[in-house]
Structure formats: structure tokens, C-alpha cells
A = this chain, B = another copy of it.
Amino acid sequence: MNHFISFRDVEDKEALLEQALSFARDPWQSEDAGRHKTLGMLFFNPSLRTRLSTQQAAYQLGMKVIGLNADQGWKMEFEEGVVMNADRAEHVKEAAAVMSQMVDLIAIRSFPGLTDRDKDYREEVMTGFCKYSRVPILNLESSTLHPLQSFADIMTMEQHRSQDRKNTKVVLTWAPHIRALPQAVANSFSQWTLGYGYDLVITHPEGYELDEAFTPGARIEYDQDKAMEGADFVYAKNWSAYRDYGKILSQDPSWMITSKKMDLTSQGKFMHCLPTRRNLEIADEVLDGPDSLVLKQARNRIFAAQAVLFGLL
């Protein structure tokens, strides 16, 4: 791997998964792998669990870590050839090239604005850094993707599936929320689940269709109850509309995941990337129930990041 921005950067998906599962069993097995290496973490947006899990993963590889908060106004220019006489104080050409001389890996978090779809889906921060950095770039959640989350989700399903992947039914279901959230987790979960060969059904109210670039081969089902039938894994997540970009089209409470809905599945396991709004997205009974995998997913964030860092070193 040169960079880790999306599933497409993964060269050998089975080897990467095996590596992550191996770190889950023995976290300190490669504690000299990152000797004399420093991970720079650049946050254009706040982060708690991604920061914790990625930093812990780096420590388990013997790396040093430097965290940089750029969320209070390091405005960067991404266009070529412009006269920089407005509020953007530095061009990505310098920013990326300079940082990449000082650290050995650069991890970046940069959320979408959710107002200009073309701009968000162009992924100018990740694209710009990949172009001008001399060291690998690691995506800690970008405008449209959250690959370290999705890889941890894949690990978790691998640890809990009872049949081969193509006969394992995974349901990605939209759930209600009061805020307009990015499509990144949903896009990325679709891309990874399909990439690893699972049977994916996506269910949401009409209008919430995701960018088809991330969902080739998934079935769309607008009836949530019907989608749940026979599911082995139910992954709930809110997202705002892709078509009518960034909009909240529905807050229909009947889409909340309850035990009654989980009863429609084939003893399905419940998943969510967290944080979640209890009793708005998901009922307490599901989150606190025996079929909830949410804490296991969170723990796997460490080992997913560790395997990716190991691969990039």
C-alpha cells in the first residue's frame, strides 16, 4: 500500500484481515516494527475514539506519535495557480511536503461541509496530501469515507459469522437522527462489505440512496422490515441525503432499531460504529442486549489501525 484512503488501496484483502486478527490475539507481537518511526496525526475535526485507537495502535508497533489539531483555522489552499490573497494561509503543496519530511506517516481527519457535494466528493484534502506528501497518508475519516471503521467492522463480522461470506446476509439500515450527518460510514461500510464478498442489503427511506460508486452489487430495499428478514448482521447508521445533498428528509421514528425489528432477523447480530443516540437511532434493549457487537467493533478499531500502520511502514 502507498496510502490508505479507501478499500481500493488494499492490495491483499485476506492478508490484511489476517494481520488484524493476529494483532487482536497478540497486540505486542511487532513492537519493534515502528522503531524510529513517527506517526503525525492531523485533525481538521475533533476526534476521540479514532485518536485513541490509532495512537494506541501506533504505540503497539513501537512508533512515536505527534498529534496536531488544525480544527481552529489552519485554512489550506488546494487549487493550483491561484493568488493567495484571501483567508487561506498555506498551500497543500507546502503543507504536505513539509509535514512529510518531519514524520514517517501522516494520518488525517477531515469531515465534509455537507453543502457542496462536488467539493466534498472530490476529497481535496486527501487527494492533495497524497499528491504532495513523500510518505504514506492514512485516512482517519474523510468527507466521503471512513475506512478504518469499516475494516474494524469487517474484522468483527469475520469473528462472528457462521457461514461463508456470500451466504452471510448483511443489512445496512438508515436510522433516524436530529442532525445532518455525513455519508462516510455508510459509503465505506458498503464498499468494504461488498469488497469482502458479503451479501449486502441497504435499507432506507426513499431519497437516501447512496452514491452508487460505493454500492455496486448491493440490493436496495425501501421496506425496512422486509430487509431485516433473515439478516445475520444488522448495521444501523444515520446519514443525510446524497441526492438532495446534506439534507434531512426524514426523522421517521419507526426506523429506530428495536428488539421487535431484530426479531425479524435470523438471530442477527447488531452493529453500530458509535457514538449513537440511544432511543432515537437504537433502543436501549438492542444496544444493551446480548446480540450487540458495538463494543467489540470499537475494540477492533485498535487492531484494524495497527494492521494498516504495519502495512504502510
The chain A residues found within 8 Å of chain B, CB to CB, are 28, 36, 38, 40, 46, 48-49, 51-53, 55-56, 59, 64, 66, 68-70, 72-74, 77, 81-85, 89-91, 93-95, 97-99, 101-103, 178, 274-280, 284, 287-288, 294-295, 298-299, 301-302
Say how far A254's CB is from chain B's closest CB, in angstroms: 14
Is the Cβ of B84 less than 8 Å from the Cβ of A279?
yes
**26 A-B pairs with C-beta separation under 8 A:** A46-B72, A48-B95, A49-B98, A49-B99, A52-B66, A52-B102, A55-B66, A56-B64, A81-B279, A81-B284, A82-B279, A83-B278, A84-B278, A85-B277, A89-B277, A90-B276, A91-B278, A93-B288, A94-B274, A94-B275, A94-B287, A94-B294, A97-B298, A98-B295, A101-B295, A102-B302
Say how far A231's CB is from chain B's closest CB, in angstroms: 23
Closest 3 CB pairs of A and B: A90-B275, A84-B277, A83-B279
Residue of B nearest to A79 (CB): B278
Say how far A304's CB is from chain B's closest CB, in angstroms: 12
The complex places the Cα of A82 from the Cα of B275 at a distance, in Å, of 15
**When A82-B279, A83-B280 are in contact, do A70 and B98 touch as well, CB less than 8 Å?**
no
Say how far A106's CB is from chain B's closest CB, in angstroms: 10
Question: Which of chain B's residues have a CB closer than 8 A to the CB of A90?
Answer: 274-276
Say how far A199's CB is from chain B's closest CB, in angstroms: 28
Question: Which of chain B's residues have a CB closer than 8 A to the CB of A274?
Answer: 90, 94, 98
The complex places the Cα of A288 from the Cα of B280 at a distance, in Å, of 53
Say how far A62's CB is from chain B's closest CB, in angstroms: 11
Is the Cβ of B72 less than 8 Å from the Cβ of A52?
no
**When A89-B275, A277-B84, A278-B91 are in contact, do A51 and B66 touch as well, CB less than 8 Å?**
yes
How many monomers of this chain does the complex have?
Answer: 3
**When A102-B299, A274-B90 are in contact, do A74 and B46 touch as well, CB less than 8 Å?**
yes
**When A89-B277, A277-B84, A280-B84 are in contact, do A36 and B46 touch as well, CB less than 8 Å?**
no
Question: Which of chain B's residues have a CB closer than 8 A to the CB of A48?
Answer: 68, 70, 74, 95, 99
Question: Which of chain B's residues have a CB closer than 8 A to the CB of A279?
Answer: 81-84
Is the Cβ of A101 less than 8 Å from the Cβ of B280?
no
Is the Cβ of A275 less than 8 Å from the Cβ of B95?
yes
The complex places the Cα of A40 from the Cα of B49 at a distance, in Å, of 11
Say how far A273's CB is from chain B's closest CB, in angstroms: 11
Say how far A87's CB is from chain B's closest CB, in angstroms: 9
Question: Which of chain B's residues have a CB closer than 8 A to the CB of A81?
Answer: 279, 284
**Interface core residue of A56, A99, A301 (most chain B CB under 10 Å):** A56
Is the Cβ of A85 less than 8 Å from the Cβ of B280?
yes
Known contacts A52-B66, A85-B280, A94-B276; 17 additional CB pairs below 8 A are A38-B59, A46-B74, A48-B70, A49-B99, A51-B66, A82-B278, A83-B279, A84-B280, A85-B178, A89-B277, A91-B275, A91-B276, A94-B294, A98-B274, A101-B295, A102-B299, A102-B302
